Amino acid sequence: MRLADLTTFRVGGPAADVTVAATAEELRAFVRSHPLRAAQSPAELAQGPAGPDVLFVAGGSNLLVADEGFAGPVCVIRTSGLEWEEADGGDLVRVTAQAGHTWDALVAETVERGLAGLEALSGIPGSVGASPVQNVGAYGAEVADTLVSVRVLDRMTGEERELAPEELGFGYRTSLLKRSAAQLGAVRYVVLAVTFALRAGGAQGGAPVRYGQLAGALGVELGARVEVAAVREAVLALRASKGMVLDPADHDTWSAGSFFTNPILPLPVDEDGGRAAPESVLPAGAPAYPARDPLTGEPDPAVVKTSAAWLIDHAGFTKGYALPGGRAGLSAKHTLALTNRGGAAAADILDLAVHIRDGVERAYGIRMEPEPNLVGLTL
């Protein structure tokens, strides 16, 4: 099997040892047959796994896989299914989705049922199981806003657990699930299912609109509540205008969405013991946003978040930018998306990512970090 066939970048070499888990029991069986051994020393931990670990693939929308492929076992997660339960006298509805269920199919079903909470996350590619790992977010909403629990299987202990939001340590595009994988160099917690609590009555008004561009598209003020179907329609139109809705016929959508996360920068301590203004660390004109502390969930006064798209554009990498040869390039619609223009290899996309990252760092002294998981590659 070619991993290119499983990823939205449509790049990636061969995998010989592939298991398709179509049910939750098949997924549990695979995970339990591929445990993760705890590192015995700091040196061993620093080295990472002795050999190729397991690669878990579901929607494939957050992966950039090397042209050489992957030598270890691959688990393709194809579990699906939704369970519904009324709560709080019917004012809330809980939905539990299996990890392999397509994310946008879940969102579409909640909108059809008139449930509020996920509508601003319409059109995001990938699976439900991946959504809490990255704390997926868009247009002022995040998965953390409505998530109740995540059922995981711990590869280190073999224990199946239900993790609450306070245990998951959500932050901007991060969670315990993501941080533990980065620390170990391998996935520790495999998501089996995710439960969300959504508000009934979405036909009268969904979650408050928190994003200026979305409010403008809807013709309302920030904070207004708009019928969930109208929000979904507006979000899908906005995402399509940026090449962020997958279309097999459109190479401009052959991407992993936003390739770089918005940088979060520490604010220096000023002479009075407080924190300096964001302007002290940001380029002139760069936008500044609050960033949430993943442990407390509160805005962190010690840091400021800025826009990766702004940095890329103002460093001279405009929409459609490409290196000589041009098999990979920035989207013609959105500077945050690196795209496979057709026939690109993983090496082409990586070269472009390095070129843009280094160019931004030369221009502004800010080093951007990739959002997709790199398999067999280093940026």
Distance CA(118)–CA(111), nearest Å, equals 8
CA 362, chain centre distance (Å): 27
Is 86 one of the catalytic residues? no
Burial class (CB in 10 A: 0-12, 13-18, 19+), 89: exposed
Q: What angle do CA 156, 162, 168 make, to 5 degrees?
A: 80
- Residue 196 β-bridge partners: 95, 147
- The answer to whether residues 276 and 177 touch, using CB atoms and an 8 Å cutoff, is no
Reduced to 3 states (helix: H, G, I; strand: E, B; else coil), residue 258 is strand
Residue 25 structure tokens:
């029991």
Residues 6 or more apart in contact with residue 18 via CB below 8 angstroms: 1, 73, 74, 76
- The answer to whether residues 12 and 60 touch, using CB atoms and an 8 Å cutoff, is no
**Which position among 131, 255, 258, 307 bears the catalytic label?**
258
**Which position among 173, 188, 232, 327 bears the catalytic label?**
173
Which among 297, 283, 335, 285 is positioned nearest to 144, based on CA atoms?
Answer: 297
Is 94 one of the catalytic residues? no
Instruction: Name residue 29's amino acid.
Output: A
**Which position among 26, 109, 233, 371 bears the catalytic label?**
371
Is 307 one of the catalytic residues? no
**Strands of the chain, DSSP E:** 18-21, 55-57, 63-65, 74-77, 82-87, 92-98, 137-138, 141-142, 147-154, 160-163, 189-199, 255-258, 264-266, 303-305, 328-330, 337-340, 373-375
Overall residue count recorded for the chain in this entry: 379
**Residues classed as catalytic:** 173, 258, 371
